[in-house]
Amino acid sequence: MSTPFSERLKEERRKAGISQRRLAELAGVDFSYISKLENGRMPPPAADTIVKIAQSIGCASEELLAAAQKLPGEVGSILSGNPAAVRFLQEASSLGLDEIEWEQMRGKLKSLRDGGKPRRPKRT
């Protein structure tokens, strides 16, 4: 079973060693908002706010997004305009994959795009 967003947020903030007040400053939200989120008195915020909070505490945004059961904005945009992507995720979801299998699938997708070859770093 997954950890509720409120608990996960509190855990990640404490792991980062910062106060609720400092997190609020870094994320550009009110201190009382962070407190209410951590105490489960507010539902999880919008995905963009979750990403800001995650960046502020130095954790992977995917961890907090998953706990909140939200998708990053760009993923939602892609899904809403692409029936094939929705079908793919529905099919994958119906398989009941665990986290390791999802990571394996992600690796296979990358190799499919790469033609099985390692990618060259982008030139800047």
36-89 pLDDT tens trace: 999 999 999 999 999 999 999 999 999 999 999 998 878 888 888 889 888 988
Buried b or exposed e, range 90-119, using 16+ CB within 10 angstroms: eeeeeeeeeeeeeeeeeeeeeeeeeeeeee
Mean pLDDT of 82-106: 89
Domain ranges of the chain: 5-71, 82-114
Can you tell me the distance from the alpha carbon of 36 to that of 84, in angstroms, rounded to the nearest whole number?
38
Query: Would you say residue 30 has pLDDT above 70?
Result: yes
| 8 A C-beta contact, residue 57 and residue 31 | no
The CA-CA-CA angle for residues 107, 110, 115, to 5°, reads: 120
The CATH code belonging to domain 5-71 is 1.10.260.40
Q: What is the pTM of this model?
A: 0.74
